[in-house]
Amino acid sequence: MEQDNKGFVWVGTRNGLARFDGINFKLFQQSANARKSSIASNLIINIKGFNNKIWIEHESGEIDQFDPVTEIVIGNGLPKKYKSGDFLRRAWIADSKGIIWRIVDGAGLIKYGPTPKSYNKKTNGFDSDTLWGIAAGRDGMLWVLTNYGLSSLDEKSGKVRNYGSGQLPDYHDYRYAVRFPAGLHQRKNGQLMWADRKFLYLFSPHQGKYLSQIPLGSRSDRSVTWIREGLDGITYFERGGAIYSYNDHDGLALVHGETRVGKDPIQSFLVDQSGLIWLGTNAHGISQTDLTTPFFPSFPFKEGFVSDVLKTEFNKSLSALFDWNIQDQRFAAPGYHIRSAYDKSRHLWIGIKQQVVRYNPVTKNFFSLPKLTQISNSSETGIGIKGLTISPEGAPVVIGYNRNILIYNQSKNAWEWLLPEGYISKKLGTNITPQDICMDQQHLWITTEMDGLIVIDHKTGNLQQLKQNSSPVSLPTNQLLGVKADPTRPDLLWIGSRNGLVCLNKKTLKAQVFNSQTGLPDNTIYTLLADRYGNFWFGTNKGLCRFSPVTHQVQVFQTRHGLLEDEFNRFHQLALPDGRLAFGGTSGWTLFDPDKIKEDTHQPTIALTDLKINNATIEHSADGLLTSPLNAIKELVLPHDQNTVTLYFAGLQFNQPHDLKYRYQLTGYDNDWVHSAHIPFANYTKIPPGTYQFMVNASNTTGHWSKEIKRLTITIRAPWWHSWWAYMLYATLIAGGIWYWFRLQLIRIDLSKSVELKKREAQQLRTLAEMKERFFTNVTHDFRTPLTLILSPLAQLIEKNAGTNDATKLQSIERNARQLLELINQLLDFSRADARMLTVNQSAGDLSNFCENTIALFIEEASKKGLELKLINQVHGNYWFDAAKLERILANLIGNGLKFTSAGGQVSLTVTAVQDYIIFSITDTGIGISDDKLAFIFDRYYQIDKNGRTEMAGSGIGLALVKEFVEVQKGYIDVESKYGKGSTFRVFLPYLPAILSTKPAAELVCPDEQLIYSNKNEEVCILLLEDNIELADFIAGSLPGHYTITKATNGADGLKIALETLPDLIISDVMMPVMDGFEFCQQIKEHQQTSHIPVILLTAKVEVESRMQGLTTGADDYLTKPFHVPELNLRVHNLLERQRRMRAYIQNQIGSPGFAPTKELDPFLTKFYHVIDQDLDNSSVGVDQLASRMNMSRSQLHRKLRAVADMTVSDVVRNYRLSKAAEFLKAGFSSSESAYKAGFDSPAYFTKCFKALYGETPSEYYKKNI
């Protein structure tokens, strides 16, 4: 066995070379795969340490040189011409140059080299060729033991000098075949030491003489093979299994064991750096002898703890001193009840049962005090004294099992009451069992078995009990045992408990607990004694502890330290006068001197023993993560994805390796040392990239941290995305991104400005379009109003002047007026197209009939011009199409054809269906269009000048409007024309077939005025709203003369008049100042007083949206300007007739028995009847009250009911009460009861009214319906 300079112990075995770190063995064996670390053979004879290398002797005779740091092996084969059996085993050395010198059995000495060199008696002058030992001296000389003494060899000159001894050395008992060499050792002072079977020799190389020859005193079967020197300067050797020491002061001493003859010889011997002695045996493993281990003499029980200690140490019996007999042991052994204390004179006081004795260590005599009859316990004999302490005046104080406390009066030689008899029992009861007691100047401190700590002021008698979870003081448990004062600090009290060692501050009563979490092996403190050095000693279930009350440092001793057992017993303790301490366990007792248990001063080195990365063990290899052995490297470099690291380590102190503690720190990761107790590894998961330094430190066996700290730099390489070039790339990308972002922002700002400009431009265009739309709308409205005044009376004039010369002129006026109206309509459509406000309003109809009706409009014109106009229709059935726009398209194209075709020509309309389109082809034989003009004919305001003729000149918007109408319907138009021969326009429109669900309405035949206005006596009130006075007068003059016409020029005035007069019908223009017709109509329909009045809207707005808006506001009818007067009269008549019929229907309903109004009939009536119901049986409620409840005046209510039902308020109220009375009669009420419930105060009047309305009396009605 050898120990390298790092502290590892190396062991040669029959299975390879083993390295021991105090925890694990690492084995190095012969391997074909690892040549550099492969030893020559697994069968090892011996290993030696030279030049910081481990040299290995194999059974084959080969010697390997092993580097314990790099774990590289250099082999040394056998010299030429030599075999394994030629050499004396274990007899070789390697000098400072690494050259092997080896003893040849019976043939001198050889030196290894390319050509081995032999040194023997013949060639060099050795006094014998039989050599026994060899050593290299510090002076460069080689020293050899021979059969006759000691010889020196000068390596350079080859000269030999022999130093014969006074007598022949006796190295071997030749009865044994195996010959062991003799160990030759040079001490630190330069002296050479060796020993044969009888003597120990000392020789001075400097003086060249023997210094001493010391008899070994006992027989041995061989010489001393190994001599080692410890760090303390003492030389140790093994002889026959015994261990000897030698130093110049004490000389030779046997320190362990005894020399035995014939015993299996020890195979190796080592004294390590901590002084631990190792013995390697043959097939019996390794034994260790620690000369520094505390010595705990232990004895098995004979009679018991107290009996054995008294007899062994004081030569006294338990029965003689304490009157102990066999009956006293029925409940507990005396060891559980012994209590002791020392006074200031170092007298020992011991109490058991009812007896206290004092021991004088000077006279070695015992003095017995009077028996304590006050604490006797007749029911449980043997249990008396439960606590013993010394008062500040030096008098013993005891507490008994019965809780009585007494003090010894020496002058009277009697026990006296310290507290009145039964004092504690009276205060706390009789179930408290004391365990121990301590006394100071002011207080008594009493521990109990289950009830915490009792504190009594022995001067005032004040009592306080401290328990677990009590306030404001809390103990860790109520189960307390021994109690001791602090050796140096009077304010502290130490208490043993079932839950740790308790330190109690007497002033603050605050407790500090020491238990297994703070380093104790166990929480139960069975015993508690103090030594002369201020340390506490206490026994637990898991060993004996030494505890410093100042530093709180704890040292645990167990069976591996020499104790008989680890478990101790309650109060089995006694401090002897000479300072030794006795503790009792379950099967024996231990007696030791605390002074001989020294502090461990060794500074163990620490080594890294194993490495795991990502939970996989890493072995060193040339191309791996670990290129050298772990403990040899200074830096560990790891990839970013192999950053979970577990490092194993070991403190290289081998006497008690399980007592070593560890702490480690990864600087840059840990903020402070991480204390791992006895755990010899550190684990780090997912270490971030960076450079760290791992530091690990070990304590010695007593917990003192070693100065030796092992350091290892750990570098976690950053992944490529965290490398410098990656960061440069990131910086470039970020800079580019920022630049691109700013560029985008600038582009966005420019785009935003552009968009904003376009928005403003679009807004301005929309505003312009709206202004244009309003302008054209207003203009057309202004045009339509005078046209209405022209066309409406013109029709009457033409009818009156039929057959006269003025008829033709009037017809010409009418034709031109209508042409002007058509131009106005085109102008309005053109403005809407320009504003992109055209919409498609499709309806289902017969397309064939539509085309026939359209072309019929032009037959008269064609006839006048002498043109042939024909229709070729190949499409039949119903289709979905926009009639208004299609009529304008066909009319414009047919009109142009007629306009540009000369007499005798032809214009035709052909309708065909091709795929998804209906094709309308308009062909004429007119003047045609030249090719250079075709591309422009659909442009706005474009006109073709035909030789300066203006009779055919148009506005230039017709064809452009046709194209707009076609395209808004998703169609298209094309044209073919040859100048002078005619043109063909084809319109393609995607019209879809439709199935009509209703039949076409029958033609409306305008009745004769006498039929329409048959009732000229009927009073009709019409409200007319028109801002054009002339048109308002014309409309008023067109209505029947017996109508009362009220006029207003705007909606606001009209609404006021309507609320005041409640007209029968309202005719309103749409475009008016202040309030237009749409808002006026909405106000009329929402107001409860006017909601029944029908409204006709007159407007120049002919588009569908305008009509829909008017109808949505509640208008009953809609008439566009210009209009025909008969049509207006007919619409007025129809609405008035509808109102009359509704009134008749309501009258009929009101006159029915049991009538129940509904909102569908009339919402106003429903509300009015609800008001009547509120005081139905109150006949005093009049018209004024009902009008007030309806928020109307009396006259307004009257006019409203006249308009709705053509009845007075009283008639409506009476009829409603009668209908309710009819319900009461049906429900079984009598005629009188029904009358009163319905609000009639006279049954007779009720009967009269009932019969007048229903044609039968209430009694008859009752009988009929019951």
CA–CA distance, 1073 with 1025 (Å, rounded to integer) = 11
Q: Which residues pair with 647 in a beta bridge?
A: 611, 682
Please write the tens of the pLDDT for every residue from 600-655: 888 999 999 999 999 999 988 888 888 899 999 999 999 999 999 999 999 999 98
φ, ψ of residue 696 to 5 degrees: the values are -140, 145
Please write the tens of the pLDDT for every residue from 966-980: 988 999 999 999 888
CA–CA distance, 94 with 112 (Å, rounded to integer) = 10
Q: Is the pLDDT of residue 1112 over 90?
A: no
Q: Which residues contact 1039 (CB under 8 A, 6 or more apart)?
A: 1022, 1045, 1128, 1129, 1132
CA–CA distance, 65 with 100 (Å, rounded to integer) = 10
Specify the higher pLDDT residue, 777 or 893: 893
The average pLDDT across 926-933 equals 87
Please write the tens of the pLDDT for every residue from 318-370: 999 998 888 777 777 899 999 999 999 999 999 999 999 999 999 999 999 99
CA atoms within 13 A on the CB side of 397: 22
- Work out whether the CA dihedral 298, 303, 305, 307 comes out positive or negative: negative
- The answer to whether the CB of 1098 falls within 8 A of the CB of 1066 is no
CA–CA distance, 842 with 177 (Å, rounded to integer) = 132
**Tell me, what's the pLDDT at 103?**
95
CA–CA distance, 1239 with 1246 (Å, rounded to integer) = 9
pLDDT band for position 1009 (cuts 50, 70, 90): very low
Beta strands in 804-957 (DSSP E): 843-846, 868-873, 878-881, 906-914, 917-924
Look up the CATH number of domain 49-290.
2.130.10.10
CA–CA distance, 173 with 182 (Å, rounded to integer) = 13
**Tell me, what's the pLDDT at 605?**
94
- The answer to whether the CB of 174 falls within 8 A of the CB of 219 is no
Burial of 1179 (0-12, 13-18, 19+ CB in 10 A): middle
Kindly list the domain boundaries of the chain, sorted by start residue: 49-290, 305-466, 606-722, 838-992, 1009-1143, 1151-1265
Where do we find the tokens 């089995």?
572
CA–CA distance, 860 with 800 (Å, rounded to integer) = 23
In this structure, whether the domain defined by 838-992 belongs to CATH 3.40.50.720 is answered with no
CA–CA distance, 925 with 904 (Å, rounded to integer) = 9
**Tell me, what's the pLDDT at 487?**
93
Do 305-466 and 606-722 show the same overall fold?
no
CA–CA distance, 514 with 483 (Å, rounded to integer) = 15
**Tell me, what's the pLDDT at 955?**
57
Q: Which residues pair with 271 in a beta bridge?
A: 277
φ, ψ of residue 519 to 5 degrees: the values are 120, -10
Please write the tens of the pLDDT for every residue from 651-663: 999 988 888 999 9
Q: Which residues contact 259 (CB under 8 A, 6 or more apart)?
A: 216, 218, 219, 220, 239, 240, 241, 242
In this structure, whether the domain defined by 305-466 belongs to CATH 2.130.10.10 is answered with yes
Would you report the helix, strand and coil content of the chain in percent, each value rounded to 5? Answer: 30, 30, 40
Please write the tens of the pLDDT for every residue from 1194-1236: 777 777 777 777 777 777 888 778 888 788 888 778 888 888 7
- Work out whether the CA dihedral 1224, 1225, 1230, 1232 comes out positive or negative: positive
CA–CA distance, 152 with 1016 (Å, rounded to integer) = 170
**Tell me, what's the pLDDT at 1245?**
81
Helix axes 724-800 and 1029-1038, enclosed angle (nearest 10): 50
**Tell me, what's the pLDDT at 1149?**
72
Q: Is the pLDDT of residue 1004 over 60?
A: no
Tokens read off for 1214 = 């009476």
Tokens read off for 599 = 């502090």
Tokens read off for 681 = 């590894």
Please write the tens of the pLDDT for every residue from 710-766: 999 999 998 988 888 888 999 999 999 999 999 999 998 998 888 888 888 888 877
Domain at 1151-1265, CATH homologous superfamily: Homeodomain-like (1.10.10.60)
How many H-runs (helices) and E-runs (strands) does the chain carry?
24, 73
- The answer to whether the CB of 372 falls within 8 A of the CB of 355 is yes
Helix axes 847-856 and 883-899, enclosed angle (nearest 10): 40
Domain at 606-722, CATH homologous superfamily: Immunoglobulins (2.60.40.10)
Nearest to 328 by CA among 344, 352, 305, 346: 352
- Work out whether the CA dihedral 1150, 1154, 1160, 1162 comes out positive or negative: positive
- The answer to whether the CB of 56 falls within 8 A of the CB of 39 is yes
Please write the tens of the pLDDT for every residue from 153-190: 998 888 999 998 878 899 887 666 678 899 999 999 99
- The answer to whether the CB of 857 falls within 8 A of the CB of 824 is no
pLDDT band for position 996 (cuts 50, 70, 90): very low
Through-space distance between the first and last CA atoms of the chain, rounded to whole angstroms = 132
Please write the tens of the pLDDT for every residue from 60-115: 999 999 999 999 999 888 888 888 888 999 999 999 889 999 999 999 999 998 88
CA–CA distance, 696 with 680 (Å, rounded to integer) = 10
Tokens read off for 180 = 């062991």
pTM score, whole prediction: 0.57
- The answer to whether the CB of 129 falls within 8 A of the CB of 120 is yes
Q: Is the pLDDT of residue 838 over 80?
A: no
Specify the higher pLDDT residue, 1230 or 1106: 1230
CA–CA distance, 707 with 721 (Å, rounded to integer) = 41
Look up the CATH number of domain 1009-1143.
3.40.50.2300
Element (H, E) at 899: helix 883-899
φ, ψ of residue 725 to 5 degrees: the values are -70, -30
CA–CA distance, 183 with 837 (Å, rounded to integer) = 124
φ, ψ of residue 979 to 5 degrees: the values are -60, 125
Q: Which residues contact 908 (CB under 8 A, 6 or more apart)?
A: 869, 870, 871, 872, 921, 922, 923, 924
CA–CA distance, 479 with 523 (Å, rounded to integer) = 12
CA–CA distance, 514 with 503 (Å, rounded to integer) = 8
pLDDT band for position 1107 (cuts 50, 70, 90): low
CA–CA distance, 46 with 49 (Å, rounded to integer) = 10
Specify the higher pLDDT residue, 25 or 1222: 25
Edge to edge, the sheet with strand 906-914 lists 868-873, 906-914, 917-924, 982-989, 972-978
